[in-house]
Chain A
Amino acid sequence: MSSNADSVFNVVSPTSTSSVRALHVGQRVSLSGIIVTARDLAHKHLVESRPQELRDILRGAFIYHCGPVAVPDGSGWRISSAGPTTSAREEQYQADVIREYGIAGVIGKGGMGQKTAAALAESGAVYLHATGGAGASLAASIKEVVSVFYLREFGVPEAMWVLRVENFPAVVSMDSHGGSLHQIVYQDSLAARTRLII
């Protein structure tokens, strides 16, 4: 399998652990299939209430740290903006969610911490980094709003939106082998900083 930064790996969600284990940091991914948005309230609910209704949807699929802008469209919904939100806020819950629901991975922005990294390695999951601020173009990759959970309880940005996407672009920044692009960049930039600030 090529690790050339120019090649893009197509991943269909839900996916298998073996497919996820084949991904390594720095690889580009084009994701198609089911992703489910989850922000602060959703993560807290998933860990504290352990709801049954989402288990089948989440198994092997990807959670997306995103509070979309959604507007009613006929009998359904249209997502007009869907960029990632900062993932660090979910660090306290993420490892539990990975283990409990068997998700293939998490899509977000800015990476996550050691607890999540350990769960990624243990469970065979990955962290995919989407381009922050690219709300319009990421929304364009959403082809269908399949369903939405907890809309009344949590409101539009915090509800769990089940979305079917096509060619959603992302980069593997934390893999299931302990690799972290964030750690690599931190160490390299620290060395550069030390040379500049003596």
Chain B
Amino acid sequence: MVFYPEREHVISLISRASSDIPADVRTALEGSLDVAAGNAAVIVHEILDNCALASCQQVPICQDTGIPTFYVSGPVDMDRARLIEVVTSAVRDCVKSGILRPNAADALTGINTGDGTGDGIPQVYFDCAETPTITVDLLLKGGGCENAGIQYSLPDLTLGAGRDIEGVRKCVIDAAFQAQGAGCAPGILGVCIGGDRATGYAVAKRQLMRPLVEDGTPGQFAGLEASLLASINSLGIGPMGLGGFPTLLGVKIHAVSRHPASFFVSVSYGCWATRRRRLSVVSDGGWLVT
């Protein structure tokens, strides 16, 4: 039997995601203070103080609560319409209560819909898994860092980047350089190698859901992720782009198949306020947010 999340559960998910920075992000920010100095260290302290205050008062960490993006995993016959309805109504409730800022605007006129929902907002993705348990992952990602994302088509002559791992490396370094700390550094880069124009960006953004430190056997790109993190931090762009260390907290790379004629490297730029949480509805009807 499948147990579905209720609206109240999703409201709890949204509220926690918005006000409680994930432990791994906080740990990375605290760890950066071993090296950070001067104004860069002051900014990291301000970020950490802000996170503590937001958690204590249960208010948004950042006033830009982004476009809510839900990744729903469940059995193949889960009722998608029901799930879309429950997350959408939870978003509306959260806008009414001030947990979320209304961030859905008409594409051409810019007129805000007022209730946080619109055509394609919230975003809801579905994965099928051989499990009776439904999990709902939520990512809140602001507009400023979304604007800092970029997609490369290889070969790229300006970078001297060919269709190989070295070309990928150059693209990711260039992406961080071009951003110059915009998108509220120090954040996380999600990278997708392959896919098409659409899936490249979607898969890249999905990598922001991965914890900074991952258990188990290191993935295929673990070495590249670590060396890119070091390289990008050596650019010295710093928190908010005001210089120093850190420029970045992590890089997460995933590859998917591509058309032989295309080679896209897509970079989703995540700000320091990596707001990601999971709602699990377990088989006995209980639920929790992690």
Contact of A169 among B46, B234, B236, B237 (CB under 8 A): B46
Distance (Å) between the CB of A66 and the closest chain B CB?
8
A110 to B239, CA, bound (A): 11
Q: Give 1 or 0 for each of A120-152: 1 = CB within 8 Å of chain B CB.
A: 000000000101111111111000000000000
Whether B39 lies near A171 (C-beta < 8 A) is yes
Whether A135 lies near B62 (C-beta < 8 A) is yes
Interface size band for B: 35 or more
Q: Residues of A contacting B57 with CB < 8 Å?
A: 136
Whether A69 lies near B101 (C-beta < 8 A) is yes
Q: Give 1 or 0 for each of B229-250: 1 = CB within 8 Å of chain A CB.
A: 0010011111111110000000
Among A11-19, A50-58, A98-106, A180-188, which stretch is in contact with chain B?
Answer: A180-188
Whether A188 lies near B243 (C-beta < 8 A) is yes
Whether A185 lies near B243 (C-beta < 8 A) is yes
Select from chain A the residue with minimum beta-carbon distance to B185: A132
B70 an interface residue at 8 Å Cβ cutoff?
A: no
A189 an interface residue at 8 Å Cβ cutoff?
A: yes
B177 an interface residue at 8 Å Cβ cutoff?
A: yes
A105 to B60, CA, bound (A): 28
Whether B98 lies near A71 (C-beta < 8 A) is yes
A43 an interface residue at 8 Å Cβ cutoff?
A: no
A22 an interface residue at 8 Å Cβ cutoff?
A: no
A83 an interface residue at 8 Å Cβ cutoff?
A: yes
A81-B63 contact, Cβ under 8 Å, with A86-B182, A197-B159? yes
A81-B60 contact, Cβ under 8 Å, with A136-B53, A186-B180? yes
Whether A140 lies near B98 (C-beta < 8 A) is no
Whether A134 lies near B47 (C-beta < 8 A) is yes
Q: Residues of A contacting B46 with CB < 8 Å?
A: 131, 134, 137, 169
Q: Give 1 or 0 for each of A24-62: 1 = CB within 8 Å of chain B CB.
A: 001010000000000000000000000000000000000
A197-B160 contact, Cβ under 8 Å, with A67-B63, A82-B63, A134-B47? yes
Select from chain B the residue with minimum beta-carbon distance to A86: B144
Q: Give 1 or 0 for each of B203-235: 1 = CB within 8 Å of chain A CB.
A: 000000000000000000000000000010011
Whether A81 lies near B177 (C-beta < 8 A) is no
Whether A185 lies near B62 (C-beta < 8 A) is no
Whether B240 lies near A132 (C-beta < 8 A) is yes
Count of inter-chain pairs, beta carbons less than 8 A: 134
A5 to B212, CA, bound (A): 31
Whether B39 lies near A28 (C-beta < 8 A) is yes
13 A–B contacts, CB within 8 A, in A order: A26-B39, A69-B63, A81-B60, A109-B184, A133-B50, A133-B272, A135-B61, A135-B62, A184-B243, A185-B243, A188-B243, A193-B173, A197-B173
A197-B98 contact, Cβ under 8 Å, with A5-B38, A69-B60, A140-B53? no
Whether B47 lies near A131 (C-beta < 8 A) is yes
Residues 150-170 (chain A) with a chain B CB within 8 angstroms? 157, 169
Select from chain B the residue with minimum beta-carbon distance to A190: B177
Q: Residues of B contacting A83 with CB < 8 Å?
A: 62-64
Smallest CB-CB A-B distances: 6 pairs: A81-B63, A134-B50, A133-B62, A132-B184, A135-B63, A137-B50
Select from chain A the residue with minimum beta-carbon distance to B183: A132
Q: A83-B62, A171-B39, A190-B177 are in contact. List 18 more A-B contacts (CB 8 A).
A: A69-B63, A71-B98, A81-B63, A109-B184, A129-B240, A132-B62, A132-B144, A133-B62, A135-B61, A136-B50, A136-B53, A137-B49, A137-B53, A139-B59, A171-B42, A173-B242, A189-B237, A196-B231
Whether A110 lies near B243 (C-beta < 8 A) is no
Q: Give 1 or 0 for each of B145-179: 1 = CB within 8 Å of chain A CB.
A: 00100000000000110000000001001100100
A192 an interface residue at 8 Å Cβ cutoff?
A: yes
Q: Residues of B contacting A140 with CB < 8 Å?
A: 53
B191 an interface residue at 8 Å Cβ cutoff?
A: no
Whether B243 lies near A181 (C-beta < 8 A) is yes
A92 an interface residue at 8 Å Cβ cutoff?
A: no
B195 an interface residue at 8 Å Cβ cutoff?
A: no
Q: Residues of B contacting A71 with CB < 8 Å?
A: 98
Select from chain A the residue with minimum beta-carbon distance to B170: A197
Q: Residues of B contacting A173 with CB < 8 Å?
A: 242
Q: Residues of B contacting A135 with CB < 8 Å?
A: 50, 54, 59-63
Distance (Å) between the CB of A155 and the closest chain B CB?
8
Q: Residues of B contacting A138 with CB < 8 Å?
A: 50
